[in-house]
Structure 1
Amino acid sequence: MNIAMFSDSYYPYVSGVVRSIELFRHELSRLGHNVYIFAPSYSRQKKEEGVFRFPSITAPTIKNFSLALPFAPGVGKMIRDLKIDLIHCHSPFLLGSVGARAARRQKLPLVFTHHTLYDLYVHYVPLFPGLARRLVLGFVRKFCNNCNLVITPTNMVAERLRELGITVPLEAIPTGLKLEEFADPDPDWLRREYGIGPEEKVLLCVARFGKEKNLDMVLEAFLRINRACPATRLFLVGIGPYEEELRAMTANMGLDSRVTIVGRPLPRRTLTDYYAGADLFIYAATTETQGIIVSEAQAVGLPVVAVGANGIAEMVNEGFDGFLTPPSAAALAEKSLLLLQNDELRHRLGSQAKESAKQISAEATAIKMARAYQTLVN
């Protein structure tokens, strides 16, 4: 099959959506399909075969994110020339709308992946957030119901969409893991790199530095953890607009010597070594549709303590590979301390976390996606 994917975010911007697109594109290509990406342009982008860029402007609220101009008079010809069989949109907005129009005009099947709980991101709209939330929900409902199939990363999100009024077929297909990336990490690299003593316990949180990730709650939880167990360190790894606020909060809490903020893009191997060098993964976001970051931590053998909301609640098996908590710093701290102070329990849950991660290999999820495509094309 020849598949066209339209997305409002793609490299060099880094996010869970971009990672999902990259993984599915790679695995679908291995299965013999051709995947073409239609994405915004960036000044520092690398040219890549099969990736078509749209003129863009810099987003006013996220300085490293581009907003594509959704005007593409030649896109229909491109779709015909590429002999596209199916269009898959990864956003309902700018380029998603371009892809949807192209699908209608070319009479092609239209698939949409509902990656994001868009109504939980209205804090990026400076005025009238209540009105913005209603408008976003109405727009997303209409977009979904004009598709042939809507993909969700978890069953929980599918249920939420049904409650929203989505009536078209829904199928839960998570973003998979390239398990080979996590097969041989260096568990000692982090301690060597940062001079961490053998008696110290390391907590890790990998997330985009955005307000919706609740990183302030992670810091508040760690403050409690560090008071009860001083031989602890926290690493916050990510990039995003909230970095300055995080550094200011860390300083105000007096945690500068115990919290390391790594605010730069990392090669996959280096990120895997961060995972492997930690003792515990802590996460507080409540807006995730899946939380691929949590699965990555599990793949390296990290037990997870996370707020049990939306997609995360489906990725962590309570008491088997981690713990789910209410959305409070006290609850996160309590479950984290339980694991940090019990080596046997922590190692057992970490070992079981690896087994959980094996259930969503990238190859298996791509095969499931390809079958869904083929059904529509047929």
Structure 2
Amino acid sequence: MKIAVFTDSYRPYTSGVVHSIETFTCELTALGHEIYIFAPSYPHCRNENRVFRFPSIPAPTNRDFTLAIPFSPRLNSVISKWQPDIIHVHSPFLLGQVGARFARKLGVPLVFTFHTLYDHYVHYVPFARNLTRALTRRYCRDFCNQCHLVITPTSVIGKHLKEMGVKTRICNIPTGIKLEDFAEADSNWLQSQFGLNREEKILLFVGRLGREKNIDFLLKAFARITKELPQTRLVLVGGGPEESNLKKLATRLGIASRVLFTGPLARMEVIKCYRSADLFVFASKTETQGLVLAEARASGLPVVAVKAFGTSEMVVDGDDGFLTGESIPEFTSHIKKLLAEDDLRQRMSVRARINAQSLSSRNCALKLSSEYSTLLENKNFLRKTV
């Protein structure tokens, strides 16, 4: 079948949403489906087959991100000529609205993946945050109720949407991972690439350096850990708007020499980081899935994470890691336990790899493909007002 994907973020920008789209595109294409992606343009974007770029402007709160101008004189002819069977949107905003409009025009099913707890990002709004949060929740609810199917990466997010008033059918399909990518990566890459002491225990975080990731909590927790266990290092992989502030905080806490900011890395380099570390640490409270947690497990990394939303379904507490409250003493006590007990860390490493098997990208794509087929077989979807 032909699937048109509308997204407000796409490469070269890096994010969980972008990675999800890339992973499903690869697997769905391997299953014989045709994918056409409609996305914002970025400076120096190369021409790609089956990728339509909208003119865009830099986002005011994140200069690495662009905002699509949701109009193009070529769009109608491209979509009319290609004739998609399904339109799948990955945002309820700019290009998500464009996708919804074409689903209505063409009479095809509209699928929406709810990737982000948008109301948890109001800290980027300089005023009226409570009102903005309420309006964002209502907007997301109404958009979901225009769709024929809503995909959530974890069941806890599906429950959250139902509590918000979403009536559309919700299906839990996580973003899968290519397990084979994690099998043979260099397990000493971080040490050799950045000159780290091979005797150090490495705590790893991978993700966007934004306020919503709660990385200041990680730094404060690590400041406590390094006082008791000086042969530890915290490695933060990724870039983002808070990088400068986080470096200043590390300096104020007296741990700047023990914290490595790698900046953004290529995909295979990130995988090598997982394989080079001893523990994965995570404090974000806004995740719908937390794909990096699944990747850590595939690498055999035990996880210590703050229990919140999607994170709670990505870690089996006491089996392949620990889930804690947002308490620095509780969080650090579990990290110290895993660093001190090699046998426990090894057992959890084995369990992490086993548990990651359920998140095969091929299996997740097969489930999504099945949902597409069900929609197309159910002619009643045309009765729904989009």
TM-score (norm 1): 0.98
Shift of 1:356: 1.1
Deviation at 1:271, TM superposition (A): 1.0
Deviation at 1:76, TM superposition (A): 3.5
Give the alignment of 1:202-351 within 5 angstroms: 202-264=202-264, 266-351=265-350
- Structure 1: gaps spanning 5 or more residues: none
Contact 1:237 1:263 in 2 (8 A): yes
Distance 2:47 2:309 in 1: 36
Aligned length: 377
Partner of 1:39: 39
- TM-score when scaled to structure 2? 0.96
1:160-175 correspondence to structure 2 within 5 Å? 160-175=160-175
Task: Tell me the CA shift for residue 73 of structure 1.
Answer: 5.1
CA–CA distance in structure 1, aligned partners of residues 202 and 310 of structure 2: 25
Is residue 156 of structure 2 the alignment partner of residue 156 of structure 1? Answer: yes
What is the CA distance between 1:74 and its match in structure 2?
A: 4.4
**CA displacement, residues 220-253 of structure 1 (integer Å, 9 cap, x when unaligned):** 1101111111110110011111110011111111
Q: CA deviation at 1:30?
A: 0.1
- Kindly indicate whether the alpha-carbon contact (under 8 Å) linking 1:110 and 1:148 is maintained by their aligned counterparts in 2: yes
Q: Structure 1 residue 257: deviation in Å?
A: 1.4
SS of residue in 1 equivalent to 2:87: strand
SS at match of 1:370: helix
Identity %: 51
- Name the CA distance, whole Å, in 1 between partners of 2:199 and 2:5: 48
For the residue of structure 1 that corresponds to 2:202, the secondary structure is strand
SS in 1 for 2:261: strand
Deviations 1:44-72 (A, max 9, x none): 22221100011111110101110011224
Q: Find the counterpart in structure 1 of residue 62 from structure 2.
A: 62
Give, as a single letter, the amino acid of the residue that structure 2 aligns with 1:284: A
Counterpart code for 2:117: L
- Cα deviations across residues 6-55 of structure 1 (Å, max 9, x unaligned)? 00000111000000000000000000000110000111222211000111
Contact in 2 for aligned 1:176/1:362 (Cα 8 Å): yes
1:89 corresponds to which residue? 89
Report the Cα distance in structure 2 between the residues aligned to 1:311 and 1:73, rounded to whole angstroms.
Answer: 40
Task: Provide the aligned C-alpha RMSD in A.
Answer: 1.0
Please tell me the residue identity of whatever aligns with 1:307: V
Deviation string for 1:320-354 (max 9, x for gaps)? 10000001222221110110011110111011101
Looking at structure 2, the residues matched to 40 and 197 of structure 1 have their Cα atoms a distance apart, in angstroms, of 42
1:79-158 to 2 correspondences below 5 Å: 79-158=79-158
Q: Distance in 2 between matches of 1:39 and 1:160?
A: 28
- The residue aligned with 1:361 is 360
Report the residue type matching 2:361 in the other structure. Answer: A
Identify the residue that residue 176 of structure 2 maps to in structure 1: 176
Partner-residue secondary structure (3-state), 2:235: strand
Question: Could you tell me how far apart the structure 1 residues matched to 2:303 and 2:15 are?
Answer: 20
| Alpha-carbon distance between aligned partners in 1 of 2:72 and 2:45, rounded to the nearest angstrom | 20
Identify the range of structure 1 (29-38 vs 325-334) with the bigger mean alpha-carbon deviation.
Answer: 325-334
Question: Where does structure 1 differ by over 4 angstroms across 4 or more consecutive aligned residues?
Answer: none
Cα distance in 2 for partners of 1:32, 1:256 equals 50
Amino acid at match of 1:300: S
Instruction: Report the residue type matching 1:365 in the other structure.
Output: C
